[in-house]
Structure 1
Amino acid sequence: MTAALKRLLLMSMSSGIIFNYMGIFINLFIWEKGNQIFDVAWFNLIMFLAWGVAFMYGANLLSKFTIGTVMRVAAIGAGITFILLSWVHFEPKILYITMIAVPVGLTNGLYGAAQNMGISLFGKGKEFTAFFSATNVIGQLIAFINPLLFAVIIKWMGFTASFFIMFIFIALMIFTSYFVPPISLKEAKEPVFRKFGIRQVFATPQLKWMIPSLIAGGFFIQFQGIFSLIFTFSVTQDKLSIAMLQIMYTSFTIACVFLYRRFSRTRPIGDNKWLTFGMIAAAVGFLLALFPTPLILILSNILTTIGLFFFYTIWSSRQFIATYRLEPIHQTRVLVWRELILVISRMFLLALILGIHDFDGFVFKAVMIFSFSSALLIPYFSKKSDESAEEMVLQGVES
């Protein structure tokens, strides 16, 4: 892994604490307003709308500024979020949730644009797998410590105290941003959004297969992401118990890290087989959710968490490998479209989730089966993309 990627890894570590908190405790804060699936789904829907807009704006900013500057703007967005959470409270609830969701989405979108551009411009081949694997390990360590630490703070001192503490990590994020590589698109000969048509950007067969893979991936990520939290919140309202469940899920992910590394070294198991295994585990987890008892919901979360590890480690690295030989401006266009497709597919699923009132209704079962099917399709799309890349190489050799 290059020195540049290692510095981006350091940035991921400092920002990961903020994003882990946002992912668990802001959703819990919203859930406690009325214990309604609609509230959490609406918060996430608006967040991803802001996320998509911010990602596009962040990509445009990179034609003028470095990724460090964009990351600092993202940190300011996080600061605005916690100011609103600390001092602003009003009715109606849906408007209040919307107001909180917008800066959270802006923070994620701007940071995602800066980080993804940095990874794509500095990574080479297998470095992507190493980077995402290392990111996963760091993320799991944060997922071990963060929930327990803030669960104790919230239980003893309340949400407001935890919001104030987050300003320390926002300051750390700003400080760390000065040490990331000075990457930008200033030298690009044309704007990001020129020649931005989807057919122009996804011009090769390998890139075209990314589109259905991204759509299916967005459905899978969103169903797992929102219901892993809602299932946990449904099992217990105690914040320490919620933290311990999150730590247990993290333990299974770390076990997957060791299994993946050990068997990848000692046995010729291809990444596509690991991805298939992960998606089957996730699909079984989805099916178990049809029987929503506390123990079954916990087991469902364990299996979908295992699936998510293999998805992020293998699928994400392949997405970047497919683009790293492209010109920087073309890479940027692919990554912007990649994020937009993921955001749109996640928003589509969230729109369906808005109609879910309980785990026994028809809508929940229909959305679950839809997500189950999407998870099983991901290895197929990934395999077709690999086959297209191999055909291109063979055609190049023959010519």
Structure 2
Amino acid sequence: MTKSLKRLLMMNVSSSVIFNYMGIFINLFIWEKNRQIFDVAWFNLILFLAWGLAFMYGAKLLAQFNISSVMRASAICAGITFVLLSYVHVEPKVFYLSLIALPVGITNGLYAAAQNIGISLFGKGEEFTAFFSATNVFGQLIAFLNPLLFAILIKWIGFSGSFLVMFLFIAIMIVMSFYVPRISLKDAGEAVFSHFSIGRVFNTTRLKWMIPSLIAGGFFIQFQGIFSLIFTFSVTSDKLMIALLQIMYTAFTVVCVFIYQRFSRTRRVSDSWWLTFGMLAAAAGFLLALFPKPPILILSNILTTIGLFFFFTIWSSRQFVATNHLAPIHQARVMVWRELLLVCSRIVMLALILGITDFKGFVFKAVMIFSFSSALLIPYFSNKSGEVDVSE
């Protein structure tokens, strides 16, 4: 790898520590205040609303600035998040949750714009393959170590102390942002948001099938994402046990990686079969959640984690294949629409989850069945978007 890619890798590592912490421990911090599903759902709803708007603004910024500037802005917003968490405690509760969620969403949205759009323009050679392989390895290490280390840290010095520690990683992000490759959309020749209607961006049959696939995928990802956390928080209030459960789920993901890679090399099992298997595993996990006992909730999380891995691996790769041949500016527009469709469907799911008070009520069962149905439709939509249309 070149020096620039190594620096970009360091940026990804430091940001992954922050995003992993935000995904687990800020949600836990909110949950522990009242142990209400509404609080976590509202926080995430505002987060994704801010995420979508920040992603669009980040895409616009990339026409004027490079990814290093956008990543630096993301790091600054992360710093604002931890300042608010440390020093601001206001009422009413909904306002406080919104106040915390806004900078978290902006942090994620800006970084996702820089990462997804900027990196797609950088190249696709062997060096870039090595970069993504290294990113994946470090990502798995962070998923293993980060929850455990911060759980121990929180037990030792409390949430406030852990918020201060996060400023170290924010500082690393800011420093590394000055050294990442100077990628931007300046040379694209036209603005991202010109010719931006959904019909003009998804202008082939193959691309059009991505739209329902993204919407259904957003429903599934959000339901699995929020309830995997809430189920875990419901099983135990011990932060170390929560961290160990998160590590266990990551371990199942790593096992799935090895199994998938071994069978994909020989092509004995098709990607369509893996996608269907993943959705069935997720569906089984959803059904088990109807019996909310601690061991069953853990098993539910294991099955939905396995399902999410196979879904995300096949689903994402097919989308990459469908957009890989596009001009850079067209690919950027697809990326922005992709993020917006995912964010909108996730917000709809979170709005439905706001009405859930427990795991036994009618609302939970209705939302679960809706997510279950969406999951089962994904293989069909993904297969259609993965088909080659010779007329195109």
Which range, TM-score by smaller chain?
over 0.9
Mean CA deviation greater in 8-17 or 116-125: 116-125
Q: Which amino acid aligns with 2:243?
A: A
Q: How does 1:129-208 map to 2 (within 5 A)?
A: 135-208=135-208
Mean CA deviation greater in 2-11 or 297-306: 2-11
| 1:222 corresponds to 2:239 | no
For the residue of structure 2 that corresponds to 1:192, the secondary structure is coil
- Maintained 8 Å contact 1:120/1:320: no
1:215 to partner: Cα distance: 0.2
For the residue of structure 1 that corresponds to 2:186, the secondary structure is coil
Q: Which amino acid aligns with 2:389?
A: E
5+ residue gaps, structure 1? none
Q: How does 1:1-399 map to 2 (within 5 A)?
A: 8-124=8-124, 135-387=135-387, 390-392=388-390, 395=391
* CA-to-aligned-CA distance 1:75-109 (integer Å, 9 cap, x gap): 00000000000111111111111100000000000
Mean CA deviation greater in 302-311 or 142-151: 302-311
Change (3 A) 1:9 1:367: farther
Q: CA separation in 2, counterparts of 1:384 and 1:265?
A: 23
1:7 to partner: Cα distance: 5.4
Mean CA deviation greater in 315-324 or 46-55: 315-324
Mean CA deviation greater in 289-298 or 255-264: 255-264
- Maintained 8 Å contact 1:30/1:39: yes
Q: Which amino acid aligns with 1:30?
A: I
1:301 to partner: Cα distance: 0.4
- Maintained 8 Å contact 1:128/1:317: no
Q: CA separation in 2, counterparts of 1:211 and 1:130?
A: 31
- Relative to the length of structure 1, the TM-score reads 0.93
Mean CA deviation greater in 191-200 or 125-134: 125-134
- Maintained 8 Å contact 2:212/2:381: yes
* CA-to-aligned-CA distance 1:264-291 (integer Å, 9 cap, x gap): 2234322222222212111111111011
Change (3 A) 1:200 1:384: same
Mean CA deviation greater in 118-127 or 337-346: 118-127
1:244 to partner: Cα distance: 0.7
* CA-to-aligned-CA distance 1:55-91 (integer Å, 9 cap, x gap): 0000000000111110110000000000000111111
Q: CA separation in 2, counterparts of 1:10 and 1:56?
A: 25
Q: CA separation in 2, counterparts of 1:206 and 1:266?
A: 27
Aligned residues, how many?
392
CA RMSD of aligned residues (A): 2.0
For the residue of structure 2 that corresponds to 1:122, the secondary structure is coil
Q: Which amino acid aligns with 2:259?
A: L
Q: CA separation in 1, counterparts of 2:38 and 2:355?
A: 7
Q: Share of identical aligned residues, percent?
A: 75
5+ residue gaps, structure 2? none
